[in-house]
Structure 1
Amino acid sequence: MTRPTSYLLTFATLTISVLAQSSGLQNGLSDAHIAAVVPGGAPYDAARRAYNLRYDFSPVAVTYPSTAEQVATIVALGNSENIQVVARSGGHNYIANGLGGKNGSLVIDLSNMTRVDVDVSSGTATIETGNRLGDVAFALNNQGRALPHGSCPYVGIGGHVSGGGFGFTSRMWGLTLDAVQSMSVVLANGTIVTASSNSNADLFWAMRGAASSFGIITSIDVKTFPTPPFATIYEYDWQLDYSSAATALAKFQEYVMTDIPPQLGAEINLGRGNSEGSVYFGLTGGWYGESTDALQSALAPFLASMPSANVRYSGNGTYISTIEALGNGIVNTNVAGPDTTDTFYAKSLVTPEGQPMTLEALEAFMKYLAYDGYASNTAWFMQFELYGGGNSFINSINVDSTAFATRSALFTVQLYASSSNYEPPYPEDGFTFLDGAVEAITSTMGDDWDYGAYVNYPDDRLNNAQSLYYKSHYTRLESLKSQYDPTGVFVFPISVQ
């Protein structure tokens, strides 16, 4: 029987149901010798804790498989007991989808599955999806290899690759999902299949951009890249009045549409100014060219339009030192200690390369930040991540080759606001502040502006979410969902329905 979208039974009801069927889920896990944490006591409370403390969900159990076969057993048990199942890789999902995004899900925590094997001759790596990004970078770097991915070392590779996977090397190497050659996937019926361009090709298409709605990835085979011979992280920052900040972002938008090198990764970082009416404006990124002199030459056309800046370089010239710099000194999370938590709301805005933001829209946006942002009772930042521009590998790929739907993006904007002390409760005006920031741009650009949103920065308050995340691909995704998950085993907020 197909589950309704509103499958939101209370935890108490589900607990009674599951305990009454003890011969089902719990006995099944025990018979399969699969480690699990069930309700009651400190281990369960720790296991169900979300990274974003705005959320407090109670799963029916948190399981810890060690093999793909055990993952398949858990999915089959969940399916047979009419319980929705969700994978947790790093646990950093912004709306706690790694806990199901609601009460009553069966969580498959993949943290015991951390194998990374590198075939040095071919450059192909097999990576289990319990790995976190820092640990992937560490293991690959030991073999002189690298992969495009984000900067937070604690983010899980499974969720990261499912929806995209952007980092400063992405203009040069692509998104993380672009490096994937095949996947081992557990389907809703508990079977294990290989998804690649030659095997289950339609599933492979869907898994690269919307994987969480279709199956659980237990491992990926990826193309890796030789570590660059030189790399550095650069930072320029200014305090600007809002009008100057708008002009500066407009100039940067013009600059990146020129013949900039693919070795240049960049983003504009915005934050609260040092006085009302002003904005912190930073340019940061990764450079994987020949030298800092070559970086300065590449940036010179934009910097010529800017006042003098504070300038910093990070790393010792090696690629792994830039990973460490971006991770606040952390690469290998296995020796770095536990991750932190936060209490926040986040939104995203994907701007189309063919319809750049106007100076009028940027003026409205920067003015909003300079006044409403200055007064906001949140700790906030906003990042304009450069996806497109001259020589971008991301946008060179045909949009219909994967489910990732925005191969014409110029920027993916992340808007992020934490509570003032990073702990609950979250202030109500934090929601309205970020909503207003997006509205300042979209309302000025007009109804025909073809913007989108990025599924790896999920927002469960977003109107028309499926259309903004998946664009023209959503109809095909719906059709494939009915084929691969007809009973709704993998359903969570913002999933393909």
Structure 2
Amino acid sequence: MSCLQKNRVEFIAQGDAKYNELSTPYNTRIRTRPRIIITPNRVSDIQYAVVCAQREGFKVQPRAGGHSYAGYSTGDANTLIIDLRYISNVEYDPRSRKAFAFGGARLGNLGLKLGADGKAISHGDCPGVGLAGHSLHGGFGYTSRMWGLSTDHILSMKVVTATGDLVSASPKLNSDLFYAMKGAGDSFGIAVEFELKTRTVPDKVLRFIFDLARYSRDAKRMADVFVNVQACVQSRSFGDNYGLTIRLATDAFRVAGYFYGKEADFQRTMLPCLSKAAPVTITIEEQSFSRSLSSIAGDAPLRRFIDAPGAKSNFYAKSVMIPEQRPLNKAQMQDYFRTVLEAGARVPNQFVITFRLMGGTGSHVKKDYGDTSIPWRDTLWIAQHDGQTQRNPRDVARAITAMNDQLEGSIQRNVATYFMFPPFIDPDLTREESHKMYLGDEHSRRLQRIKTKWDPTNVFSNPQSVQLERRR
């Protein structure tokens, strides 16, 4: 890359010492070999790199944490990857109560920095995930029902565009780019800095686990539990201060989560929902907010070191979102759990299913936080099907697909329009299918017009990225 050399931008190519480490995707089932990788420590290097990619005919993809399920943040043979790990500082301004985070910031480091001042934003589970990729595709976590999505905390951002220019985007400045970045950011530019509103952390957090493993092979009882919890979260007494999941694996079934309030309120609102289920054990633990972030991450440390090797996994995943207005009934869930038991029996101990509560009474995900290219706010549950594929990968893929298809079929019989969750991106979808399932038809058409304006040569591209508007 003579253009990069001329502008004194260091790069890594195949054969270089760090290439294999930096080119291996988070999901090792995916094979990627990007043409060039840069790890800049100056925004100007990013600008030069984008211009050089244009001249050389390469596509560009940013990488913050590198956790794309499909490996899109690692690219292919015609892609220049811009790894933002060295542009990752986080600062908090106590006067304005705003945070300022650079594009490579990791969620764990962000949580630690803001937590020192008793502040936070809504975000997901894993400390090593990058703020940029996470928030620019929504960003959902246990506090989202209380505070909104991660993307809803973005007040403005600085973006390197396809021309190599550094521009500001906000609801009042380049508002069309701001809208596009908040939902489909990897198709439009590289977000190098965020201005974020923050929240005051709650005084206490209750972690709760209802162990229902005794029902893990009983489709009828699991369906009973599911619909009882579902009715509870849609009842008037339920509040926005719950983050809740229902999780199923081989010989495991549980309802668990975090309550951001007083134990008396938890006992009043949650325990009656599961009184008929007779859980084997009930665990309730009081935690600080900071401790809850680590607990959510499986007790992993929040601090992420810049050059520490990232965790890898070999997996196959699919998701589907259950709309709020037409939740699934007991018969539909019983049929689904039968399918799970049948398909799961062929791949024991190689799958995990998680239903994440997004909606329900009081959920702030449904609030109007301004113009974003996110169509799936009116969702009750995110259903995530994960399969470990280190061994018998085809069998695992078939089992995961059967489980997801059964649930999706029931949703299709209830509603005409539903979505899939873009952070759990599925590389099996075609570009057209991904646009329909992640962005929706209306947003897709609008995004194509904006793409034509801001990236007319389609430099920011991957197999499911937004394409240019078709000329009539």
Shift of 1:238: 0.8
Give the structure 2 partner of residue 405 of structure 1: 375
Give the structure 1 partner of residue 62 of structure 2: 87
Correspondence 1:304-323 to 2 at 5 A: 304-314=275-285, 317-323=287-293
Would the aligned equivalents of 1:174 and 1:394 in 2 still touch at CA under 8 Å?
A: yes
Give the structure 2 partner of residue 184 of structure 1: 158
Give the structure 2 partner of residue 302 of structure 1: 273
Q: 2:438 aligns with which of 457, 465, 469?
A: 469
Q: Which amino acid aligns with 1:195?
A: A
Give the structure 2 partner of residue 38 of structure 1: 13
Would the aligned equivalents of 2:210 and 2:279 in 1 still touch at CA under 8 Å?
A: no
Give the structure 1 partner of residue 246 of structure 2: 268
Q: 1:96 aligns with which of 45, 50, 71?
A: 71
Give the structure 2 partner of residue 22 of structure 1: none
Shift of 1:413: 1.3
Would the aligned equivalents of 1:231 and 1:318 in 2 still touch at CA under 8 Å?
A: yes
Q: 1:365 and 2:336 equivalent?
A: yes
Would the aligned equivalents of 1:63 and 1:107 in 2 still touch at CA under 8 Å?
A: yes
Give the structure 1 partner of residue 115 of structure 2: 141
Kindly report the root-mean-square deviation, in angstroms, between the aligned alpha carbons of the 2 structures: 1.8
Q: 2:385 aligns with which of 415, 418, 421?
A: 415
Q: 1:289 aligns with which of 252, 256, 261?
A: 261
Shift of 1:65: 0.9
- Unmatched 5+ stretches in structure 1: 1-25, 274-279
193-202 vs 42-51, which deviates more?
Answer: 42-51
- When the two structures are superposed, what TM-score results if normalisation uses the length of structure 1? 0.89
- The C-alpha deviation readout for 1:253-309, integer Å capped at 9, x for no partner, is 111111311111111111122xxxxxx32111121113x333222212312231133
Correspondence 1:74-473 to 2 at 5 A: 74-100=49-75, 102-239=76-213, 240=215, 241-259=218-236, 260-273=238-251, 280-290=252-262, 292-314=263-285, 317-329=287-299, 330-334=301-305, 338-376=309-347, 379-397=350-368, 401-419=371-389, 423=390, 427-447=393-413, 449=415, 450-462=417-429, 464-471=433-440, 472-473=442-443
Q: Which amino acid aligns with 1:55?
A: I
Q: 1:64 aligns with which of 36, 39, 49?
A: 39
Q: Which amino acid aligns with 2:28?
A: L
Would the aligned equivalents of 2:229 and 2:274 in 1 still touch at CA under 8 Å?
A: no
Task: Provide closer, same or farther for how the CA distance between residues 84 and 337 of structure 1 changes in structure 2, counting only shifts above 3 A.
Answer: closer
In 1: Cα distance, 2:232 partner to 2:246 partner:
13
2:381 partner SS = strand
Would the aligned equivalents of 1:269 and 1:283 in 2 still touch at CA under 8 Å?
A: yes
In 1: Cα distance, 2:18 partner to 2:109 partner:
25
Shift of 1:41: 4.1
Residues matched between the structures, number: 458
In 2: Cα distance, 1:319 partner to 1:462 partner:
38
Would the aligned equivalents of 1:378 and 1:417 in 2 still touch at CA under 8 Å?
A: no
- The C-alpha deviation readout for 1:434-477, integer Å capped at 9, x for no partner, is 21112112223445622210111100112522101111311111
- Unmatched 5+ stretches in structure 2: 468-472
- The C-alpha deviation readout for 1:79-125, integer Å capped at 9, x for no partner, is 1111000001001110111012x332100000001111111122110
Would the aligned equivalents of 2:320 and 2:408 in 1 still touch at CA under 8 Å?
A: no
Shift of 1:426: 6.0
- The C-alpha deviation readout for 1:163-184, integer Å capped at 9, x for no partner, is 0111111011010000100011
2:350 partner SS = strand
Shift of 1:131: 1.2
In 1: Cα distance, 2:392 partner to 2:94 partner:
48
Would the aligned equivalents of 2:72 and 2:462 in 1 still touch at CA under 8 Å?
A: yes
84-93 vs 249-258, which deviates more?
Answer: 249-258
Q: Which amino acid aligns with 1:148?
A: S
Q: Which amino acid aligns with 2:20?
A: D
372-381 vs 103-112, which deviates more?
Answer: 372-381
In 2: Cα distance, 1:473 partner to 1:289 partner:
37
1:29 partner SS = helix
Give the structure 2 partner of residue 14 of structure 1: none
Would the aligned equivalents of 1:128 and 1:219 in 2 still touch at CA under 8 Å?
A: yes
Runs of 4+ with >3 A deviation: 335-338, 444-448
Task: Provide closer, same or farther for how the CA distance between residues 199 and 336 of structure 1 changes in structure 2, counting only shifts above 3 A.
Answer: closer
Would the aligned equivalents of 1:358 and 1:445 in 2 still touch at CA under 8 Å?
A: no
Give the structure 2 partner of residue 489 of structure 1: 459
Identity %: 28
In 1: Cα distance, 2:329 partner to 2:186 partner:
35
Q: Which amino acid aligns with 1:384?
A: F
Give the structure 2 partner of residue 11 of structure 1: none
Would the aligned equivalents of 1:118 and 1:126 in 2 still touch at CA under 8 Å?
A: yes
In 1: Cα distance, 2:323 partner to 2:338 partner:
22
Task: Provide closer, same or farther for how the CA distance between residues 32 and 311 of structure 1 changes in structure 2, counting only shifts above 3 A.
Answer: farther
In 2: Cα distance, 1:356 partner to 1:406 partner:
15
